[in-house]
Structure 1
Amino acid sequence: MTQDYDGASPFPGAEEHPPAGRAQTGLTAAIVVLPFVAFGVAIFLSWGQGVALADLLLAAAFYVVTGLGVTVGFHRLLTHASFTARPWLRVVLAVAGSMGFQGNVIDWVAVHRRHHAFTDRPGDPHSPYRYGAGLRGQLRGLAHAHLGWLFTDDRTPAERYAPDLLADPAMTRVARAFPALCALSLTLPFLAGWAITGTLYGGLTAFLWAGLIRIALLQHVTWSVNSLCHMIGSRPFTTRRHDRSTNLWPLALLSFGESWHNGHHSEPTCARHGLERGQIDPSAAMIRLFERLSWASQVRWPDPGRIQRRRADIARQARAPAGT
């Protein structure tokens, strides 16, 4: 099927995936909608008095911990094996990523590996080109890539895409603990706010800002890498055929370097996604710190020669006559 894909038409069978079951749809909708309700409540409570500094600091701290759990742990370590971590660090990163409300670690890795296997071709679970490359198709595809794919019954079999994690007792335990880790991700901000202020009101506002709102921001930044970073931005490096991944600099800091998506798709197993000078990549900086502490080894850092060849390839493609 993918051999016949022309890169512009809707994916064969794009309309065939039925919606997810009611239970999954309801749970996913709640996870998406509740943070926005929480944001409205938080704005109402802070009207006239502002947001407490403690709430913002807690939100930032939990955002960094859970965000790096996703980017360094779920993505660069467990999905692409861009470095080797000590067993305890591997578990800590998987736990931190699980607290980001993005699915259990094994399913997350399986979906992302499938995305790389079929990037922007039939089989990609969240390509914005699913409904074609025309304007209407891209707008519909953008919604699908950002959020809509979560509401479809399109299971990614972990047995095929993440057998290594299924065979890892530590990762299977973390995956089974996902609901409890989500509860912990909301409980800890509440307890921290209560402890800092000594009031239940302080616990409530911390729960809103450092719990639900923080989760929503991290989710939408991650989903934006799936959607916007395949439609908007630059493509300085060659990637596989039909792969339209882009570098989108405005998201670099919030995504901890994940929005250097073209660089990542050009060199998927590289520990650094910002391949060019000056590209902010906090996840790579964290991996570098782990390496210096001897907590990480066999780190796959960028190869300057390969990067230059990727850049030269894209320049040759740009100069090539149309149709060649």
Structure 2
Amino acid sequence: MHAITIPEPGGPEALVWAEVPDPVPGEGEVLVEVAASAVNRADLLQRQGFYDPPPGASPYPGLECSGRIAALGPGVSGWAVGDEVCGLLAGGGYAEKVAVPVGQLLPVPEGVDLVTAAALPEVTCTVWSNVFMIAHLRPGETLLVHGGSSGIGTMAIQLAKAVGAKVAVTAGGKEKLQRCAELGADILIDYREQDFVEEVRAATDGAGADVILDIIGAKYLDRNVKALAVNGRLAIIGMQGGIKAELNIATLLNKRGAITATSLRGRPVHEKAAIVAAVREHVWPLIGGGHVRPVVDRTVPMSEAAGAHRVLEESTHTGKVVLTR
């Protein structure tokens, strides 16, 4: 088969479409013939040499895919060759075929085409696990989403609105904020010109955000804590703004706040399976009912993945960038 390889870390040009050995599904895995994958920030880090795949994972980038089951590994039941699926991966999505643990498979949701389904696994699993399973966002609470126009952000807006929460977003520029508003965002904050702490407090009568979903990390840590409501929960899922920062513990204590930090890729298979099962139970009906939809900015041929990586680096997109076979 062919896959995107990374012979040496570097810029987008480091991605090479090359012939590699076919994967073989092991115990509890299925072989998926890939129709599409999607680009995530973690892929850019891997390309640069900063985020190696976990032990035993495919060396090729790509944390999600959609396609058709080509073969079943030993011990697999409940699926059949030819089933249209999408899946959460530890790697290997930028390829013609990939072996996927059966617990990380999802059926393509009703009303979503096979290619577009590739944009769903990573964002739905990330948002549901962090905002709902860990931070326990409830109806009537306020969620602040940093990077509201990103793939994660566009999904977080929709899921939070679907459960009856109020949503604040930060994004750069009127066009991206308008897209967030179209998805249901209530409070629109241009991080280039506005202080999100002041804006969130003003929009919540001084209370602040009950839950914050943060892709920035160190740069926003102090302000995020200030923006939290009493009993607020800060969920950190990225480090685009650095990895080290000082924290005023007194402020956090006074707010009885909580900070969590998670990633999906390195979790054990059984933990990923539990998240995927929760997403299938809670999110898939919302997608099938038309209440939540994947947001795809553009599709790019997989062999031209370098161009897709440049799009993410320039941050000119809204939603997901999908790679097609």
TM-score class, shorter = under 0.3
Structure with greater helix percent: 1
* TM-score of the aligned structures, taking structure 1 as reference length: 0.23
Larger radius of gyration: 1
Structure with greater strand percent: 2
* TM-score of the aligned structures, taking structure 2 as reference length: 0.23
